[in-house]
Structure 1
Amino acid sequence: MARWIRWMMAATVAACVLCGAASADPLTTTQRRVADELVSVFENSSTHLQYGYIENLHDGCGLTAGRAGFCSATGDMLMTVETYADSDPQTPLAHYLPVLRDRAATGSARTSGLGQDFVADWRQAAQDATFRAAQDQVVNVLYYTPATVMAAAARLTTPLAIAIFYDTAIEHGVEKDPDGLPALIDRTRRRLHALPGRAVSERRWLATFLRVRHADLLHPHNRARRVDWPDSVGRVDALAALLREGHMGLTPPVRVNPWHDTAPFVLR
């Protein structure tokens, strides 16, 4: 089964759980904006969501694009273009759907058929509010909603905890593989022999989770990610700093400096 199909199935199950477990977004509008900006800093080094970003990072994922790093090899890029084409069948991006379906079905990083015309069409589409909304929708379905469900199941209640799970879902995925968010949660629970509660505080549990995630980024089970993931540990270090500083409510302004090569980013 193609990876993107498994992602969609996992997200659908999570969404169904959410419908029964909660009636509203656990974050306020401001907290969600801060969480989105945090992910954007980690993904694109900007507090402004980069809907028009597109690049071949040569990391085994094909083209990487959009506000959440949608990839042609994993299927979330396909889902984004399909969602947009449902609203605007005349979009030039619809022309590339057969190629995107082939890459997603095979997990191929090949970019033939997705050359400069596709790059230009993606950047042009990013000027359209409907395309930006399609990206937002895919982020919610594949990453944010599953993250909130898993946070609730892990007895995590703070906005920072949800943001940490959200960012982890974006980078690691929500699949049940050794590098996915569910596996990291399970390893944290086994290390502490508990979920947050009387025996373990939420802050201690999250600190342990971030150490588990840090170790996974340095030595991922997925051999393809051993090329790029070690370079991304700065995002985990930045989240750990927010935890130490007590930013549990994501109350702006929030300052993060994951790469330490520029001034801190200020999330407002």
Structure 2
Amino acid sequence: MTRLVLFGAPIVIAVSILFSGSDSEPPTVTGPAAGPAPSGTARPAAAEQAEEHAEEIDTLPPGLAAPEMKEIASRLVASAEASTLDWRSQYGAIEDIGDGTGYTAGIIGFCSGTNDMLQLIEGYTGEHPDNPLAPFLPALRAVDGTDSHEGLDPGFTDAWREAARDPAFRAAQDATRDRLYFEPAVELAKLDGLGTLGQFIYYDAMVLHGPGIEADGFYGIRDAAMRAADTAAEGGEEKAYLDAFLDETRKAIRARKVQRDTSRIDTAQRVFLSEGNLALDKPLVWQVYGETFRIT
């Protein structure tokens, strides 16, 4: 989701490190397959590398982080997550979609079973202790890592929708999305020499698969793509690397038992890439679940 003329070609950071079928119905909201690692576990090496080179990354054009581009990214993700371009309508969305991650809710599918929902509500409660979700924190801690609703039913879904009317909770969702998903994905994409489209592809994969190091997590997918093709930062051709990354993302989706639709790859991201739209310039026309979307 995106654009700056400078992002029409690969941007390479001069660093010395070498970086080692389709279902027909869309979900209402979709959660990451694997959430943030629990506190105390090792961070992926790639995340550490991006942090080490934060100063170099900050000198690059904003790309997907530019306000207009970030808005487009949010709309593109919402088309796949909720079949809408109105991503702000999803703050109060919540349901169990049967994918083994418990309740899925909010603008990028925070899940009660993948730790990100817990982080969101703990942070929000720290600033606003009397919020409607605060009484559910003990239950959320107990079900973290499972698909259980124990201690959450009844009342949690109503409390989420009530909290979503609070601008502070909406801001907390934005901030948690940025901290756990958007910023790490965009920063690492820049470190890999990727332009705006590549930054979006990383971000969408981070949202969909979660920041896991296993084969179906974001970092695992990136590792597999890097075995198949060199990144632009390694001297590879950007389009070839992104093709490899999308191949691996598609494999991860198809390996699932549920929610195996790959149209967000096949008729959206792959379309932009085949058109050579590495800057994600408008107009953008794509399909998800057979429905056509446009940003002009």
TM class, shorter-chain normalised?
A: 0.7 to 0.9
Alignment-mate amino acid for residue 252 of structure 1 = K
Report the counterpart of residue 205 of structure 1 in structure 2.
241
Report the counterpart of residue 234 of structure 1 in structure 2.
263
Q: Deviations over 1:196-217 (max 9, x none)?
A: 2686321121112111211221
Shift of 1:26: 3.7
Higher deviation after alignment, 54-63 or 141-150: 141-150
How far apart are the structure 2 equivalents of 1:113 and 1:245? 49
Report the counterpart of residue 58 of structure 2 in structure 1.
23
Q: Deviations over 1:171-216 (max 9, x none)?
A: 1122211112222222122112x22268632112111211121122
Shift of 1:44: 1.1
Report the counterpart of residue 84 of structure 2 in structure 1.
46
Which residue of 224, 235, 240 maps to 1:187? 224
**What SS does structure 2 have at the residue aligned with 1:255?**
strand
**What SS does structure 2 have at the residue aligned with 1:22?**
helix
Which residue of 97, 108, 123 maps to 2:137? 97
Q: Which has the higher contact order (CA 8 A, sep 6+)?
A: 2
Is the 8 Å Cα contact of residues 225 and 248 (structure 2) preserved in structure 1?
yes
Q: Deviations over 1:108-147 (max 9, x none)?
A: 1111222242111111211111111111111111111111
How far apart are the structure 1 equivalents of 2:233 and 2:157? 48
Residue 33 in 1 paired to residue 54 in 2? Answer: no
How far apart are the structure 2 equivalents of 1:4 and 1:195? 25
**What SS does structure 2 have at the residue aligned with 1:46?**
coil
Higher deviation after alignment, 114-123 or 20-29: 20-29
Alignment of 1:71-110 (within 5 A): 71-104=111-144, 107-110=145-148
How far apart are the structure 2 equivalents of 1:243 and 1:7? 38
Report the counterpart of residue 5 of structure 1 in structure 2.
38
Change over 3 Å in CA distance of 1:205–1:7 after alignment to 2: farther
Report the counterpart of residue 214 of structure 1 in structure 2.
250
Change over 3 Å in CA distance of 1:93–1:197 after alignment to 2: closer
Shift of 1:154: 1.9
Is the 8 Å Cα contact of residues 63 and 69 (structure 2) preserved in structure 1?
no
Alignment-mate amino acid for residue 246 of structure 1 = G
Structure 2: state its 5+ residue gaps: 1-34
Is the 8 Å Cα contact of residues 34 and 250 (structure 1) preserved in structure 2?
no
Is the 8 Å Cα contact of residues 37 and 212 (structure 2) preserved in structure 1?
no
Is the 8 Å Cα contact of residues 253 and 266 (structure 1) preserved in structure 2?
yes
Report the counterpart of residue 171 of structure 1 in structure 2.
208
Q: What is the RMSD of the two structures over their aligned residues, measured on CA atoms?
A: 2.4
Report the counterpart of residue 57 of structure 1 in structure 2.
97
Q: Deviations over 1:40-72 (max 9, x none)?
A: 111111111211110011111000000111100
Answer 1 or 2: which has greater helix percent.
1
Name the TM-score, length of structure 2 as normaliser: 0.78
Alignment-mate amino acid for residue 54 of structure 1 = I
**Residues matched between the structures, number:** 254
Is the 8 Å Cα contact of residues 78 and 97 (structure 1) preserved in structure 2?
yes
How far apart are the structure 2 equivalents of 1:8 and 1:255? 41
Q: Deviations over 1:207-247 (max 9, x none)?
A: 1211121122112xxxxxx222423x111112111111233
Shift of 1:149: 2.5
Alignment-mate amino acid for residue 31 of structure 1 = M
Structure 1: state its 5+ residue gaps: 220-225
Shift of 1:9: 6.5
Q: How much identity, in percent, do the aligned residues show?
A: 32
How far apart are the structure 1 equivalents of 2:222 and 2:50? 19
Report the counterpart of residue 222 of structure 1 in structure 2.
none
How far apart are the structure 1 equivalents of 2:132 and 2:49? 32
